[in-house]
Structure 1
């Protein structure tokens, strides 16, 4: 898992740099776009769809981390000497979710985008229906807890940078993303994890 995490956060760093570099280029209206000597528009700035794709690069590590968290939470609950009705319900929900997603490829390329989205949606259902807090529930697992928090940090940085690149027109087109970004800034660490699920579903396949 360590190798996977290293690759994911190398990707995260590159992604953030892509968005940041995009935002560093002055925003221009369609009429103001410079035409080069070859007669083509200046393509140095990523268009909106390309910037969307940059954010979507984070969905795979999100799904990977969530699946690892589900396994840890399930093991911890099962290890408790006495089971409450609430915990038994959580155990059942965690087992059902894991049975759906544990054999889906989230590592080797090429990935099936629909399968990755299926994992994301399954995690969303688990969180909403069983009141599972994926981030705080693994705090005793120091390494995983650190990686989850670091993911929130990296993706939060990328999300911030994305929002800064938006023109007034793009803010209208992506009003849903702007709203999610505001929710993100007002949320605690567990709520942030749920906002990422909302963001993935904003980009319907």
Structure 2
């Protein structure tokens, strides 16, 4: 599956989800697949694209996270579509420069098949699909996305900061870090520890797995 095929699928899914969960009221957006190691996706609150003097908002899905199970990818898409809906409806759903999701966002998102958790840093933002959304996705006959971007993680100024580095957070010639990375096999959430630990994902209720170096 090429990136162009992924964006075509996501554009198709956007149309289906717009009709099913938003009564078809959402205007078109430009859907992109770009590097986004610190987030599963984003929505621009301005017209990031122009065509023939007409502006379009952007919804991006992080290229590194497309390997998650399809219902979780669709849940991320609906999360960003909910931001789009709130923007069009004049609902202030975030604060702190768009990073903190408030209870208005939670209410709108949970009307649309999402289960919304809470994180004190970003508010009512952690997102997973409800049983109803999972059943809806399965009923569409959509297949999973079998392409995702690989990259460097955890390096100071690396993929998260934009300049690159090695996967263990060091540079060539320097001692490797002993940091271990653990990842949730269901939602893809990851954490790091300086020693071996037994840790689970509370959102998914499953043990997190050690990523081998």
- Does TM, scored on the shorter chain, surpass 0.5? no
- The structure with more radius of gyration: 1
Query: 1 or 2, which has the higher strand percentage?
Result: 2
Query: 1 or 2, which has the higher helix percentage?
Result: 1
Q: TM-score, normalised by structure 1?
A: 0.29
Higher relative contact order at CA 8 Å, sep ≥6: structure 1 or structure 2? 1
